[in-house]
Amino acid sequence: MEISNSVRFAFLLIILSLFLPWFTVSLSTSEHNDANGDFRKSNYKDSYGPLSITFISSSEVSIGSNVNGPSHSNDKTIIPVNNEFFDDESGSISEAPILAKMLLLKEKLLFSIILFTVALLSSSYSKLSTDPIHNIEITKTLFFALVAIFVIIVFGFLFSIHEDYATTYGLTLASVTYGDDNQFEEEIKMNLPFGYKSITDYDSAYFYYDGEEVIVDQVITARWHPSLGFLSAFSAITLLIASLIRSYNDN
């Protein structure tokens, strides 16, 4: 099997996917006083990748007395994905299922990279071998196995990541109740691996304006989706499948 540029690029994409986040969840809240333009905003972003999990929070506040403009605060926490996720005594995941998902994903990607490397070396060796046809068939078999394994990795991740997240943190990302007796409830639930929704918590926040309390609404927005690492891996699969199809058609 001839190693085309698309195959080499797929190899680079798989390596790149190891260093990029595969799943991102963002939650933001905002409150705005229309009387004078005061506002409060908060943003939370969680990124889950094979090598690390990142939690980022930020806030922005603008009150009439802030002569220097809005005040900002930011916080970032990075947790490496390693075997410390496992309990030393029982061997079980000590933190949460989604952490196990990332640890297993890292191991699967490392195995795929090793298998890809073996397939590339096999292709190079077949050019020097006394039995090139036999070695070409071995190379094709390795690439076919690689594609099959990587399809399972990528699509298995796509269809299960939201369930792992829900098991860890709960299915409901945000909820509000409203009405005279709080008889109405609206929720943001992670039922799919990707989504976007905004809800309003009526009369739940306040500002002070001219010595009086001004009641305002709070808008809550959530979005979640596969990230660059997943897209990089998916692109690698597409390139590999196309290369295999071309290879079999040429023969």
CA dihedral 67, 34, 218, 39 (to 10 degrees): -10
Residue range 220-229: mean pLDDT, rounded: 96
| Domain span at 40 | 5-250
The pLDDT tens digits of the residues spanning 21-72 come to 999 999 999 998 887 788 899 999 999 999 999 999 999 888 776 555 677 7
Residue 226 contacts by C-beta under 8 Å, 6 or more apart in sequence?
22, 23, 24, 157, 158, 161, 193, 194
Residue range 243-248: mean pLDDT, rounded: 78
pLDDT at 38: 84
Residue range 162-181: mean pLDDT, rounded: 87
pLDDT at 219: 93
The number of distinct structural domains making up the chain is 1
Residue in this structure with the two tokens 């690689």, named with its chain if needed: 146
The DSSP H or E segment spanning 234 is helix 228-250
Of residues 226, 223, 218, 170, the one with CA closest to residue 42: 218
Residue range 100-120: mean pLDDT, rounded: 91
pLDDT at 132: 52
DSSP character for 130?
Answer: S
pLDDT at 92: 47
Whether residue 141 has pLDDT greater than 90: no
DSSP code string of 9-54? HHHHHHHHHHHS-SEEEEEEEEEE-TTT--EEEEEEEEEE-SSEEE
